[in-house]
Copies of this chain bind each other. A is one copy, B any other.
Amino acid sequence: MKLDVTAGGVYVIAPTPFHPDGRVDDASLDRMTDFFLGEARCDGMTILGVMGEAPKLDGAESLALSRRIIGRAGAAGIIVGVTAPGFAAMRALAQGVMQAGAAGVMIAPPSHLRTDDAVVAYFHQAVEAIGPDIPWVLQDYPQLFQVQMTPAVIRRIVMDLPSCVMLKHEDWPGLEKISTLRRFQAEGSMRPLSILCGNGGIFLDFEMARGADGAMTGYAFPDMLAELVRLSKAGERDRAQDLFDAHLPMIRYELQPGPGLAVRKYVLMRRGIIASDAQRRPGTALTETARAEVEYLLARLARHDARARLQAPAKRSAA
C-alpha cells in the first residue's frame, strides 16, 4: 500500500501522546490512531514531524512508535517524516519504516540551501540516499525551513525524481502556487502530483477550490477537516465554508507557532482522545489564561458544531 499520486483526503499530522512523566503513552497512541482513521474518517496519518515532538524521541523509540501505529492503521497510509541533518540518518530511518510497512516518507529541505540549483541538487542526493523506490512527500514550508521554491523549481524536482508523489503545500501565501502547479499539469509540462495542504488548515477553504487534493496538517478537529474536504469535493461550497468559518477562530488560535502544540494536545485531551496534554521536556505549557481562552473558543464553537460540546474541564492544581 505505497503512497502514490492519487492520494487525497486528510493525512493528519499526529502528535505523540506522553504520560506526564515523559514516557510515550501507548494506550493513547492506539486510541488516537483508531479515532483518526476511524470515526474522524481521515485517510492517513503523518508521524514523526516537528509537531510530533520527533526530535525528543531516540532512534529506538521512533521506530517502535512507527511500528505500533502502522500495525494498528490497517489499510490506511502512514507517512513518516525522515528529514535529518545528514543523509545517513535519513536513509536509516526511511528504510526502517518502509520495512515496517509505512506508505511513504516526507522530506524537507535544510534551511541553509540557497539558489534553485542547490535545492534541486539536495533532493537528488536525498533520493540517492534513500533509494529510488520509496515514495516521498516534498515539504514546502518556507516560513519554517527558510527555503523558497518557485512552482518551476517544484516542477523540476517532480520531473527529475519519479518517486516524489506528493507535495505538502504550506507556503504562505500559496493559493496562486496551487493554481500554477495545476496549470503546469493541465498544459502537460508536469506530471500529476498529489497536493495536500498544511498551515493548520487556515486556507483550506480556498485551497480546495484551487485544486488541492486535501489536507496534511494538524488540528484538534481533524474530523472537521475530513468533512470539509468531502463537502468541497462534492461541490457543497457554502456548507463547506459555513463549517470552516465556525472553526476558523480556533484554527487561527491553534496555529500560533509556540503554544500551538499545547493547544492541540489540550483540545485532544478535552475530547477524550488522548489522556494527557503533557509534552516531553523541553515543552510549552498553556497558561491559565490561555486555557480559559481555549475553553471560550470551544464553548462558542459548540453552538455550531456538536463535536465541540464537551464536559466542563477538570480542575487543575496550580502549575
Contact = CB atoms under 8 A, between A and B. Distances in A.
Interface string A274-298: 0000000110000101100100000
Contact of A281 (B128, B153, B281): B128
A249 B245 CA distance: 7
B92 A59 contact: yes
Interface of A: 54-59, 61, 84-89, 91-92, 111-112, 114-118, 121, 125, 128, 142, 147-150, 152-153, 172-173, 175-176, 179, 202-203, 205-206, 209-210, 241, 244-245, 248-249, 252-253, 256-260, 281-282, 287, 289-290, 293, 300
B290 A175 contact: yes
Contact of A88 (B56, B87, B115, B260): B56
B56 A59 contact: no
Given A88-B58, A114-B114, A148-B115, A210 B172 contact: no
Contacts of A116: 115-116, 150
Contacts of A114: 114, 142, 147-148
A153 B115 contact: yes
A253 B252 CA distance: 12
How many copies of this chain sit in the oligomeric assembly?
Answer: 4
Contacts of A118: 148
Nearest to A126: B282
A256 B152 contact: no
A252 B202 contact: yes
A88 B57 CA distance: 5
B258 A252 contact: no
Across the A-B interface, the 7 shortest Cβ-Cβ residue pairs: A55-B86, A173-B256, A114-B148, A58-B88, A116-B116, A125-B282, A115-B150
Contacts of A84: 55, 85
A57 B129 CA distance: 12
A56 B86 contact: yes
A153 B117 CA distance: 10
Nearest to A292: B209
A18 to B, nearest CB: 13
Contacts of A257: 172-173
A55 B85 contact: yes
Contacts of A176: 259, 287, 290
Contact of A259 (B55, B92, B173, B258): B173
Given A58-B92, A206-B253, 14 more contacts: A55-B84, A55-B86, A57-B86, A59-B92, A114-B148, A117-B150, A128-B281, A173-B260, A176-B259, A206-B293, A241-B249, A244-B249, A245-B245, A252-B252
A23 B241 CA distance: 39
A168 to B, nearest CB: 19
Contacts of A300: 241, 245
Contacts of A59: 59, 89, 92
